[in-house]
Amino acid sequence: MKSESQALLEIGQLLKTTRKSLGFTQERVADLAGISRPRYREIEAGSSSARTTTLINIGRALGMELMLIPQSMIPAVNALLQPDNADDDLPAFIVSPDGGTDA
């Protein structure tokens, strides 16, 4: 399991990458999300956590949606997000005899 600080940094990087790809400024995203620019900057930098509703509003400002998925489904979701030219033909996950999933 990732540490909270690592998760915050990854979320912030995703927000920053998406914002820049859209050509948005931090100010614009903050305005669309209904928060201050300094608050958005802290979230994007990964130096501050945010309420779920704030992340939902930021995501929607960037054309994204926040989803909660079972941890057991993470390998399948990651496999779906792989580029089309991925060289492996392995299944995203397999069901083990005990009913769990293995990546």
pTM of the model: 0.71
Segment 43-52, tens digit of pLDDT: 999 999 999 9
Kindly report the CA angle at 78 between 56 and 51, in degrees rounded to 5? Answer: 20
Residue 6 to residues 30, 39, 44, Cα–Cα distance (Å): 23, 19, 13
User: What is the C-alpha separation between 94 and 75, in angstroms, rounded?
Assistant: 10
Say whether 95 sits in a helix, a strand or coil.
strand
**Torsion on CA atoms 39, 42, 44, 46, rounded to nearest 10:** -140
Q: What local confidence, expressed as pLDDT, does residue 95 receive?
A: 67
Segment 24-59, tens digit of pLDDT: 999 999 999 999 999 999 999 999 999 999 999 999
Q: Domain 4-61 is of which CATH architecture?
A: Orthogonal Bundle (1.10)
Where do the structural domains in the chain lie, given as residue ranges?
Answer: 4-61, 71-102
